[in-house]
Amino acid sequence: MSKKTKENKKIINSFAIYSRKSKFTGKGESIGNQIELCRQHIKSKYPNISDENIIIYEDEGFSGKNINRPQFKQMMSDCEKKKFDAIICYRLDRVSRNIGDFSNLIEELNSLDISFVSIKESFDTESPLGRAMMYISSIFSQLERETIAERIRDNMLELAKTGRWLGGITPTGYTSEPVESVNIDGKTKKAFKLSIVEEEIKTVKIIFDKFLETNSLSKTESFLLINDIKTKRGNKFTRFTIKNILINPVYMIADKEAYKYFTKNNVDLFSEESAFNGKCGIMAYNKTIQKDKKANEIRDIQDWIIAVGKHTGIISGKDWVKVQECLEQNKSKSFRKPKSNTALLSGLLYCGKCGDYMRPKMSQRTNENGEYIFSYLCETKEKTRCTKCDSKNPNGNTLDKMVCEEVKKLAEDNSDFFRELEAGKKQLEANSKDYENDLEQAKSNYNENQKNIDTLVMALTKAGNTPAYEHIFKQINELSAKGEALAKNINELENLTKNNFLNDEEFDILKQILVSFKETFNLMSIEEKRAALRTFIDKVVWDGENVHIYFFGAKGERGDMEYLEPKGDNSK
């Protein structure tokens, strides 16, 4: 518990250092810099505090717009347990940019008798003036953030009124070209519009025509595959990419039908009804939710911002709306209860002719063991109706059994297989020694870099407000960026040294699994059998005549297995 001196000033015996940064950019104060600067401040102002009485909390990759951060939550939990007497941070906005969150934080710390110090602003909640200045600074931080966000949206709305292309990946069928500049928020900005790419736009028209004809994404996909029609990047079209084209309003002609559709769906229109005259296309803004490292999500149509663009539309409003209605109707029919099957090679089996996956195709017939008969079917063969691949469909029951029996043989005749594993293990052990030498050198460089930072931090505390302060601070940031790169290199080298192909323990476990595999395999459930096969098998290739099994760690395939067609099977 904190004690008061005769002057009613609290004695601080322990500190919590809190640091935060949204992401590493090479600019601004790194996590490491923030912590070191806080340490130096503690040492200069509270010389009685030892390193053992300082707890570090770091949140990297988290925004300051709210307090939903793991280390921040841990620190507040430790506050209640009175693990420290004061919290110190480098700058106020490292804790929060939200005045509501910050106000609640200060009130909670006051109730717990925990002080708060921000060294950049020289704020300390021990004094009434310090508390007042913290509130004022926090208000301006939040105001700055909200003003920037509002300005960005206002700029987007202003640009939307012009019908310009705002940048990014252009839709299939169009490219962007600069046009006259526009004045936004008192600044002149270069504007762009979409212009047609003839070869690509032909493909888009084919997609819309074929879907309107078939009312099927699968049939449209098959048509494109059969006719060798590729995406603008040269890839095969999938139902996903086809649907993304069909739902994009950029292809829609801004006509009366388009105007009726958007007004009926309560969409914000930034063009007058007279602009929907059938001469240009539609621009949709605020259409997707951008998510880091995840696929974008389509917002509800009521959240879109629609304007008549400067580009040429290619699909009439009537046809575009009809496509959306068909897609919506198909959505309700799209769910089908998955068929239960006993296929073990799904996801492992590839077609030797075209390289595509082979999936199980179930039948209602049963074999002499009472098992449902199924075959494996090449996806390219199915989608192109045999025009791009005519690989024979193997009997799935027979193929599964053959592969399982071959895996069981590993326990009986494993000399070649384990010899290859041992050779690979020894090779990687040799490589590991090189990695260890590189790791030792990287750690030495990192430690030397950290010493240089410590020296500069000490110099920074003595520089005060002199001209040398900014120069020293710049050097610290440069060394910090170098330290980040060295730390990343160390992490990569540590992973390489740890991730040997098979260590002795793992090798013994693999042997034990193989030995027990033969006795226990037939007692396993379907899911367990699939998992067991994936322990050893990288992939299985069916070339129409023979089966090739590729095991993890083995050089090439185990060998060709002659496939014998079961009697009475008429797979084609």
Cα 134 to Cα 99: distance, rounded to the nearest angstrom: 10
Using alpha carbons only, what angle is made at residue 30 by residues 24 and 33, rounded to the nearest 5 degrees? 165
High-pLDDT (> 70) share of the chain, %: 70
DSSP codes of every residue in 238-261: -HHHHHHHHT-GGGBB-SHHHHHH
Handedness of CA 86, 92, 95, 101 (dihedral sign): positive
Cα 159 to Cα 151: distance, rounded to the nearest angstrom: 12
At 568, give phi and psi (nearest 5°): 85, 0
Cα 221 to Cα 244: distance, rounded to the nearest angstrom: 13
Q: How many helices (H) and strands (E) does the chain have?
A: 15, 18
Asked if residue 567 has pLDDT above 60, the reply is no
Q: Residue 337: its pLDDT value, please?
A: 45
| Alpha-carbon distance values, 11 to 8, 51, 107, 215 (Å) | 9, 17, 20, 77
Q: Residue 315: its pLDDT value, please?
A: 95
Mean pLDDT of 439-448: 85
Cα 363 to Cα 571: distance, rounded to the nearest angstrom: 11
DSSP codes of every residue in 344-413: S-TTTEEETTT--BEEEEEEEEE-TTSPEEEEEEEHHHHHTTTSS------BHHHHHHHHHHHHHGGGTS
Exposure string for 526-563, b = 16+ CB within 10 A, e = fewer = eeebbebbeebbeebbbeeeebbbbbebbeebbeebeb
Cα 112 to Cα 31: distance, rounded to the nearest angstrom: 27
Output the pTM of the full model: 0.47
Q: Residue 204: its pLDDT value, please?
A: 95
Asked if residue 53 has pLDDT above 80, the reply is yes
Mean predicted lDDT score pLDDT of the chain: 78
Mean pLDDT of 61-68: 77
Pick the residue with more confidence: 561 or 512?
512
- Least-confidence region, from 169-183, 500-514, 534-548: 500-514
- With contact defined as beta carbons under 8 Å apart, do 116 and 138 qualify? no
Residue pLDDT, tens place only, 526-544: 887 887 788 778 889 998 8
Cα 425 to Cα 363: distance, rounded to the nearest angstrom: 44
User: Residue 157, exposed/middle/buried by CB under 10 A (0-12, 13-18, 19+)?
Assistant: middle
Residue pLDDT, tens place only, 272-324: 899 999 989 999 887 877 655 456 678 888 888 888 988 999 999 999 999 99
Asked if residue 7 has pLDDT above 50, the reply is no
- The 3-state secondary structure of 512-548 reads HHHHHHHHHHHHCCHHHHHHHHHHHEEEEEECCCEEE
436: pLDDT confidence band, cut at 50, 70 and 90? confident
Q: Residue 431: its pLDDT value, please?
A: 60
β-strands 54-60, 86-89 pairing: unpaired
Structure token digits, residue 235: 């890839």
Cα 52 to Cα 49: distance, rounded to the nearest angstrom: 8
Cα 303 to Cα 288: distance, rounded to the nearest angstrom: 9
Q: Residue 387: its pLDDT value, please?
A: 87
Pick the residue with more confidence: 76 or 111?
76
Q: Residue 1: its pLDDT value, please?
A: 40
Give the number of other CB atoms < 10 A from CB of residue 440.
Answer: 11
DSSP H or E segment with residue 128: helix 128-162
486: pLDDT confidence band, cut at 50, 70 and 90? confident
Q: Residue 416: its pLDDT value, please?
A: 59
Pick the residue with more confidence: 194 or 469?
194
Structural domains of the chain ordered from first start: 15-147 (3.40.50.1390), 174-333 (3.90.1750.20), 337-572 (no CATH)
Q: Residue 150: its pLDDT value, please?
A: 60
Q: Residue 511: its pLDDT value, please?
A: 61
At 366, give phi and psi (nearest 5°): -125, 155
Q: Residue 571: its pLDDT value, please?
A: 45
* DSSP 8-class letter at 236: B
Cα 204 to Cα 69: distance, rounded to the nearest angstrom: 45
Q: Which of 136-145, 219-228, 425-434, 468-477 has the highest mean pLDDT?
A: 219-228
At 159, give phi and psi (nearest 5°): -65, -35
Asked if residue 24 has pLDDT above 70, the reply is no
Q: Residue 166: its pLDDT value, please?
A: 74
Cα 385 to Cα 222: distance, rounded to the nearest angstrom: 8
- Least-confidence region, from 73-87, 175-189, 316-330: 175-189
- Give the residue ranges of DSSP H helices in 46-98: 70-80
Asked if residue 521 has pLDDT above 80, the reply is no
Pick the residue with more confidence: 123 or 269?
269
CA dihedral 122, 123, 128, 133 (to 10 degrees): 100
Pick the residue with more confidence: 394 or 419?
394
High-pLDDT (> 90) share of the chain, %: 22
Asked if residue 70 has pLDDT above 70, the reply is yes
- Least-confidence region, from 43-47, 73-77, 113-117, 333-337: 333-337
Asked if residue 506 has pLDDT above 80, the reply is no
Residue pLDDT, tens place only, 182-215: 555 555 666 788 999 999 999 999 999 999 999 9
